[in-house]
Amino acid sequence: MVTIKQIADLCGVSRGTVDRVLNKRGNVKAEKRELILQMAKKLNYKPNPAGKALAARKVNPVTAIILPSTGIAFFDDVIDAMEKAAKKYEDYGMRTQWHILQGYNVEEQCRILDELKSQVNAVIINPINDSRLAAKLNELIAAGIFVVAINNDLEQAGTHYYVGSDYVNGGRTMGALLKMIGPEQAHIGVILGSLKMLGHRQRLQGLKTAIAATPAYTITEIIEDNDDNIAAFSHTRDMLTAHEDINVLINLSSGGSYGSCRAALSMAPRKFLILVFDTIPTTKDLMEKNVVQAAIYQHPRQQGQKAMQLVFDYLVNGILPDKEKYIMNNEIRILENVQ
Amino acid sequence: MVTIKQIADLCGVSRGTVDRVLNKRGNVKAEKRELILQMAKKLNYKPNPAGKALAARKVNPVTAIILPSTGIAFFDDVIDAMEKAAKKYEDYGMRTQWHILQGYNVEEQCRILDELKSQVNAVIINPINDSRLAAKLNELIAAGIFVVAINNDLEQAGTHYYVGSDYVNGGRTMGALLKMIGPEQAHIGVILGSLKMLGHRQRLQGLKTAIAATPAYTITEIIEDNDDNIAAFSHTRDMLTAHEDINVLINLSSGGSYGSCRAALSMAPRKFLILVFDTIPTTKDLMEKNVVQAAIYQHPRQQGQKAMQLVFDYLVNGILPDKEKYIMNNEIRILENVQ
DNA sequence: TTGAAAGCGATACCAT
DNA sequence: ATGGTATCGCTTTCAA
């Protein structure tokens, strides 16, 4: 392992000079700069994270976390994992600032980002798909703030990182699973949060792709529940009442899955095959009661943990992520392996 | 964040004394020791990992990795993840020593452990279930060496840590999955590595439990392939020839799964539902060809990564694991989410 | 433009 | 038994 001191000795300069070159702080004669850069490259210099971390304690970098999550069970796990990571990283001098919002509001997210711009070094955000927000994030990125989008990406934004799942694949996986465990003839009722949400639309698209080649499988109706259990309950009841042939229920988002399962139960003795996303507590319960047969798990804890790690590695250790997108696998969970 | 220096100042002693107390190196008068301990507790002292890591560079702790894995595809992923982690941790001064063996040999594992005893600070091992090995590991543990068992646990050994999967649950999950996607009547041929391997026996037990209440599901024959594809091929052929009613094949270990699937293919036009463990390259290929319908994934990469992390946190950061056993989830993978 | 020195937190070692 | 000092690798600051 090469150190700054070794490079300095070999180049006949001081450690300070090497540091200035490697961290692009300027004020070094061009020829020396070249020599040092070449030497560093030749010896494959990699800064020691422990040294960096120790020195970083003097500056105390700050990370803002913006999650519109109150009342969304899926995010409970994300947040819990992030809090654990934050505690660990605090020992290294990294501070966190939490903004847990209620619902999705573009103006609010923009306003918070404006306030933060001058105070923080990094932002982890679950962004709304909106061009105004993208513009705001671009401002922060231009100002040198490290941005990580979690669980939903914003393609329009500039250089940033994404941690989340592959929604299209999630829908496809669910569709493929349905074909394996479903009845011969499937009349499918689909419930999702909102067609305005890119992720939900993508899951629907994946699901349609998966069953496209199976004529016996048709989607009878698609309803939106705005991730609300009460709305999910009544709309699902309406749908099931209107379509006596529906024998499969698919929940493409977990916000209202409990409500819609309760609606299915209320139609007894009618029986349904029910598949959902996420293994939130209510879903585990419904699995035990044999109401929900399977769920797609999106690794919420890993998502939170990875987002925090990317920020830490960058701010404290000076290491850039090796990928732009970190995509979690869509796992199939049934009662036996749901944990 | 409290530092050793602060505690030293508050107690009116030197940093060296505080260090001796907190790391139980002795040579401190009892009263001072008490005072320092109380102060540390009161201020909730937590050592700074970066400081520890930096200081650890002077001693260069060494970790030995003992895996009997040549030719076992499952371990390729474990090893790859461990190598990546080793590279990262090398920057912090942790060295690794690799012993990749061919097959399982108690004497060889014991001999290697004997050699290592005086040279290393930690051992990560995939141990054979044998009391001689357990005794040898206990010697190392008594000598203060940090021991992590990976993918197979040794209950007889003293204080050590385990990273791996829950075999019984793996078998149960596979059985439950079979009931969901299987035919009405299932005559099951089971192939496993060896009944001498605890993990394989446990999976079998889990599988039997899962289908016990389903009379239409019976295990017709159980064969051993010693994790060898050639043996798996010929024994599976023999089994399928002898039992024309077998319509389901279950591979409880991945060592010979390719061979046994090839045997199933060779019986065309007979068709089988085939379930296996692990998503090794040959299995992914067979999934694409629609020969294997599903696999149970044991997170090999996470296993390797976690084992390395436990050792690193202990040796370099002085942090003991918060659990004794780290159990990975058994995931269900089909073609669409196999990656 | 450059070098020298101090400091981040913990530890090893040498005096006493 | 205890304190002082140097060190790990990197950054920052001050002086030249």
Of B294, B331, B336, nearest to A169 by CB-CB distance is: B336
Q: Does the distance separating the beta carbons of A335 and B176 come in below 8 Å?
A: yes
B122 and B213 in one domain?
no
Residue A57 confidence (pLDDT) above 80:
no
Q: How many domains, in total, are found in chain A?
A: 3
Written as one string, the DSSP assignment of A149-176 is EESS--TTS-S-EEEEE-HHHHHHHHHH
Residue B111, number of CB atoms within 10 A of its CB: 12
**Band of the pLDDT at A237, cuts 50, 70, 90?**
very high
- Using CA atoms in the order A262, A266, A268, A272, what is the torsion angle rounded to 10 degrees? -30
Question: Does the residue B30 lie in any domain?
Answer: yes
Q: Does the distance separating the beta carbons of B336 and A331 come in below 8 Å?
A: no
Question: Does the residue A268 lie in any domain?
Answer: yes
Residue A70 confidence (pLDDT) above 80:
no
Question: Does the residue A334 lie in any domain?
Answer: no
Minimum distance, in Å, between the CA of residue A175 and any CA atom of chain B? 9
Residue B195 confidence (pLDDT) above 80:
yes
Of A46, A50, A294, nearest to B54 by CB-CB distance is: A50
Q: What integer best gives the mean pLDDT of chain B? A: 93
What distances in angstroms separate CA A137 from CA A141, A189, B63, one per listed residue?
A: 6, 37, 44
Q: What is d(CA A316, CA B155) in angstroms, rounded to the nearest whole number? A: 40
Of A50, A176, A339, nearest to B335 by CB-CB distance is: A176
- Scanning residues 277 through 336 of protein chain B, those with a beta carbon under 7 Å from any atom of strand C turn out to be 318
Mean pLDDT of A71-100: 90
Q: Does the distance separating the beta carbons of B339 and A330 come in below 8 Å?
A: no
Backbone angles phi, psi at A163, to 5 degrees: -125, 120
Q: What is d(CA B122, CA B143) in angstroms, rounded to the nearest whole number? A: 11
CATH of the domain at A315: 3.40.50.2300
Of A176, A181, A331, nearest to B331 by CB-CB distance is: A331
In this structure, is the CB of residue B5 within 7 Å of any atom belonging to strand C? Answer: yes
**Band of the pLDDT at B107, cuts 50, 70, 90?**
very high
Question: Does the residue A311 lie in any domain?
Answer: yes
In this structure, is the CB of residue B58 within 7 Å of any atom belonging to strand D? Answer: yes
For position B27, what pLDDT does the model report?
Answer: 86
For position B221, what pLDDT does the model report?
Answer: 98
Residue A283 confidence (pLDDT) above 90:
yes
**Band of the pLDDT at A155, cuts 50, 70, 90?**
confident
Backbone angles phi, psi at B166, to 5 degrees: -95, 105
| Residues near A205 by beta carbon (within 8 Å), at least 6 away in sequence | A168, A171
Distance (Å) from CA A124 to C1' D12? 29
A258 and A197 in one domain?
yes
For position A68, what pLDDT does the model report?
Answer: 81
What is the chain B residue with the closest CA to A206? B336
Q: What is d(CA B318, CA B333) in angstroms, rounded to the nearest whole number? A: 37
A74 and A124 in one domain?
yes
Minimum distance, in Å, between the CA of residue A179 and any CA atom of chain B? 9
Distance (Å) from CA B98 to C1' C11? 28
Q: What integer best gives the mean pLDDT of chain A? A: 93
A284 to chain B: which residues are within 8 Å by CB? none
B128-182 tens-digit pLDDT: 889 999 999 999 998 889 999 999 998 888 889 999 999 999 999 999 999 999 9
Domain that holds residue A63: 53-165+301-328
B197-237 tens-digit pLDDT: 899 999 999 999 999 999 999 999 999 999 999 999 999 99
**Band of the pLDDT at A97, cuts 50, 70, 90?**
very high
A308 and A86 Cβ atoms separated by less than 8 Å: yes
B62 and B40 in one domain?
no
Of B51, B90, B180, nearest to A54 by CB-CB distance is: B51
Element (H, E) at B329: none
Single pTM value for the model: 0.91
A119 and A30 in one domain?
no
- Using CA atoms in the order A41, A43, A48, A49, what is the torsion angle rounded to 10 degrees? 40
B201 and B195 Cβ atoms separated by less than 8 Å: yes
A173-194 tens-digit pLDDT: 999 999 999 999 999 999 999 9
Q: Worst-scoring range by mean pLDDT, A205-219, A286-300, B102-116? A: B102-116
A284 and A187 in one domain?
yes
Residue B191 confidence (pLDDT) above 80:
yes
B248 and B242 Cβ atoms separated by less than 8 Å: no
Residue A60 confidence (pLDDT) above 80:
no
Q: What is d(CA B207, CA A107) in angstroms, rounded to the nearest whole number? A: 54
Cα radius of gyration (chain A): 25
Question: Does the residue B335 lie in any domain?
Answer: no
| Residues near B221 by beta carbon (within 8 Å), at least 6 away in sequence | B189, B190, B239, B242, B243, B246
Q: Does the distance separating the beta carbons of B181 and A181 come in below 8 Å?
A: yes
Q: Nearest to residue B169, comparing CAs of A294, A329, A334, A174?
A: A334
B43-72 tens-digit pLDDT: 888 888 889 888 887 777 899 999 987 778
A330 to chain B: which residues are within 8 Å by CB? 337
Q: What is d(CA A274, CA A268) in angstroms, rounded to the nearest whole number? A: 14
A305 and A156 in one domain?
yes
**Band of the pLDDT at B119, cuts 50, 70, 90?**
confident
Q: What is d(CA A219, CA A205) in angstroms, rounded to the nearest whole number? A: 12
> Which positions in chain B have a beta carbon within 8 angstroms of at least one beta carbon in chain A?
1, 46, 48-51, 53-54, 57, 90-93, 169, 172-173, 175-177, 180-181, 210, 293-294, 329-337, 339
Distance (Å) from CA B18 to C1' C13? 16
Alpha helix locations (H) across chain A?
4-11, 15-22, 30-42, 49-56, 73-90, 106-116, 131-142, 167-181, 198-211, 229-242, 257-266, 281-288, 300-315
Q: Nearest to residue B1, comparing CAs of A58, A79, A315, A306?
A: A58
Question: Does the residue B337 lie in any domain?
Answer: no
In this structure, is the CB of residue B56 within 7 Å of any atom belonging to strand D? Answer: no
Residue B262, number of CB atoms within 10 A of its CB: 17
Looking at chain A, the whole-number percentage of residues with pLDDT higher than 70 is: 100
Work out the angle at residue B276's Cα, subtended by the Cα atoms of residues B273 and B281, and round it to the nearest 5 degrees. Answer: 115
Mean pLDDT of A144-153: 92
In this structure, is the CB of residue B50 within 7 Å of any atom belonging to strand C? Answer: yes
Q: What is d(CA B174, CA B168) in angstroms, rounded to the nearest whole number? A: 10
In this structure, is the CB of residue A1 within 7 Å of any atom belonging to strand D? Answer: yes
Three-state secondary-structure class, residue A146: strand
Looking at chain B, the whole-number percentage of residues with pLDDT higher than 70 is: 100
In this structure, is the CB of residue B12 within 7 Å of any atom belonging to strand D? Answer: yes
B180 and B157 in one domain?
no
| Residues near A286 by beta carbon (within 8 Å), at least 6 away in sequence | A258, A261, A274, A292
For position A160, what pLDDT does the model report?
Answer: 93
In this structure, is the CB of residue A91 within 7 Å of any atom belonging to strand C? Answer: no
CATH of the domain at A12: 1.10.260.40
B305 and B229 in one domain?
no
**Band of the pLDDT at B92, cuts 50, 70, 90?**
confident
B87 and B312 Cβ atoms separated by less than 8 Å: no
In this structure, is the CB of residue A21 within 7 Å of any atom belonging to strand C? Answer: no
Of A54, A91, A337, nearest to B54 by CB-CB distance is: A54
Question: Does the residue A211 lie in any domain?
Answer: yes
Q: What is d(CA A73, CA A47) in angstroms, rounded to the nearest whole number? A: 40
Distance (Å) from CA A2 to C1' D4? 30
A20 and A28 Cβ atoms separated by less than 8 Å: yes
Distance (Å) from CA A1 to C1' D10? 14
Distance (Å) from CA B28 to C1' C15? 17
Work out the angle at residue B163's Cα, subtended by the Cα atoms of residues B160 and B165, and round it to the nearest 5 degrees. Answer: 135
For position A319, what pLDDT does the model report?
Answer: 83
Q: Which residue has the tokens 């942790």?
A: B94
* A294-297/A331-333 β-pairing: antiparallel
In this structure, is the CB of residue B13 within 7 Å of any atom belonging to strand D? Answer: yes
Distance (Å) from CA B59 to C1' C12? 9
Q: Does the distance separating the beta carbons of B180 and A293 come in below 8 Å?
A: yes
Q: Nearest to residue B239, comparing CAs of B247, B253, B205, B201?
A: B247
B288 and B172 in one domain?
yes
B143 and B181 in one domain?
no
For position A74, what pLDDT does the model report?
Answer: 93
Question: Does the residue B318 lie in any domain?
Answer: yes
A315 and A262 in one domain?
no
